[in-house]
Amino acid sequence: MTSTTSRKQKAAETEAALKAAARRVFARQGYLNTKITDITAEAGRAAGSFYNHFAGKEELLEALLTDMFAEADEGIADPEHDPDFSKRSAVRWHVAHFWRFYREHLPEMVALRQAAMVNEKLGRRLQQMTVADKKHLVGHFARLPGLPGDPELVTSAMTALMDQFAYTWLVAGGDGRDLSDDEAIDLLTDFVHRGVAGTA
């Protein structure tokens, strides 16, 4: 192994360690309460090493979200993925994919929400990262006859509903009752499917 390869490998390992540490610290104390020194201490790295990889906490969050959305895109290749939203099973696949993705990436999803509240420019930048996912859903809705509105608006309504419902139950604790993943997914599925494919 050459010294250049070794340096690149060590840099990649440090970057991965900082990202993993940030997820843990965000989950424990929230994005807004996290300092860069909290992340480097969690990662077991020198404080100055952070700036060899990221300009600041915002850039680190963007990197986490880029990784996260790239992972989400891989799910579209699932053979069970069906774009026909007239079928309940197709809607359920998308809802389940979102719900499990949200649960798996709680630190990033909460950090995204918190960051958007305090930094309008960052909020817009982070929202731009979701454009491809939304276009994917718009394409599915555009196939349906008798949609209750413009496909882009229907997509916005669906994603807002799912995002807030997931935040309420996975982050804020809902109303205190136990809500299983299947219950949540089925409720959201029926709500969306009846709204877009049911009889008005």
**pLDDT 10s digits, 58-103:** 899 989 888 887 776 666 667 788 999 999 999 999 999 999 999 9
Residues of the chain with CATH 1.10.10.60: 1-54
1 pLDDT exceeds 70?
no
- Residue 185's alpha-carbon distances to 65, 96, 99, in angstroms, are 23, 6, 7
36 pLDDT exceeds 70?
yes
Residues of the chain with CATH 1.10.357.10: 56-197
45 pLDDT exceeds 90?
yes
- For residues 106 and 122, give the distance between their C-alpha atoms in angstroms, rounded to a whole number: 19
185 pLDDT exceeds 90?
yes
Q: How far is CA 7 from the centre of its chain?
A: 31
Sequence-distant (6+) residues with CB within 8 A of 156 are: 134
Does domain 1-54 fall under CATH 1.10.645.10? My reply is no
Q: For residue 53, what is the DSSP state?
A: T
What percentage of the chain reaches a pLDDT higher than 70?
94
Sign of the dihedral through C-alpha 167, 169, 171, 173: positive
Kindly report the CATH number that applies to the domain delimited by 56-197: 1.10.357.10
Which tokens belong to 71?
């992972």
Length of the chain: 200
* Average pLDDT of span 50-63: 92
**pLDDT tens, residue by residue, 94-144:** 999 999 999 999 998 888 888 888 888 777 777 777 777 788 899 999 989
**What's the whole-number average pLDDT of the chain?**
88
